[in-house]
Each structure stands twice: as C-alpha cells, then as structure tokens.
Amino acid sequence: MTGNPARRRLTTIVAASLWLVLAFLVWNVCFDYGVRMSQFRFLAARTAFLRGTGPRVEMANTMSQGIGQSAWSATIACAPCAAVGIAVALAGWQRRT
C-alpha cells in the first residue's frame, strides 16, 4: 500500500473490524440455529412422552445441553473469521511500527 500512513491505518482498522463483525455474525447465527434445533428436539421428545411412547424429558436438562453444544460449535465455526481479523490487525500494526 502506498499513500498516507493515516489512511493505511484507517483501512487496516476497517478491514479488521469487518472480519471481527463477520465472526460475531457467524457465531450468532450458528448459536441460534443450535438452540433452535435443541428446542425442536425437546418438543419432539416431549410430544412422544405425552403420547406415551417415550421417556419423560425436562426442558432445563435438554436446553442446557443444547446451549453448551451450540456455543462450542458456534465458536469453532467463527474461529477462522476471527483469526483472519486478528491477523489483519496484527499485520497492520507491525507494518506501521
């Protein structure tokens, strides 16, 4: 990059920020999807219990397990975006100094 150092710094900050925002959006979408799927699994299991074809299922147990699994899978899914954002920020910082 050539040009004004302040402009390069601003460009680096914007690029890193956009990667980190993308990482947050990926995390949020994956987490919400996992929680929604846990809800559907709970409702299916609860329906089976009420029909007399399945064991009793408690919402707290099912949802806490689903939330934990969703958080892990969302973190793994957003890690590449966050890594690129951090790498862009570090590269811009090292280039300035």
Give the pLDDT confidence of 15-72 residue by residue, as tens digits: 889 999 999 999 999 999 999 999 999 999 999 999 999 999 999 999 999 999 999 9
Do 56 and 49 meet the contact criterion of CB atoms below 8 Å apart? yes
Structural domains in the chain (count)? 1
Check pLDDT > 80 for residue 89. yes
pTM: 0.82
Do 12 and 88 meet the contact criterion of CB atoms below 8 Å apart? yes
Write out the residue range of the structural domain in which residue 16 sits. Answer: 5-96
Task: Output 13 or 95, whichever has higher pLDDT.
Answer: 13
What secondary structure does DSSP assign to 68-96, as a single string?
HHHHHHHHHHHHHHHHHHHHHHHHHHHHH
- Cα-to-chain-centroid distance, residue 1: 32
pLDDT for residue 6: 79
pLDDT for residue 38: 95
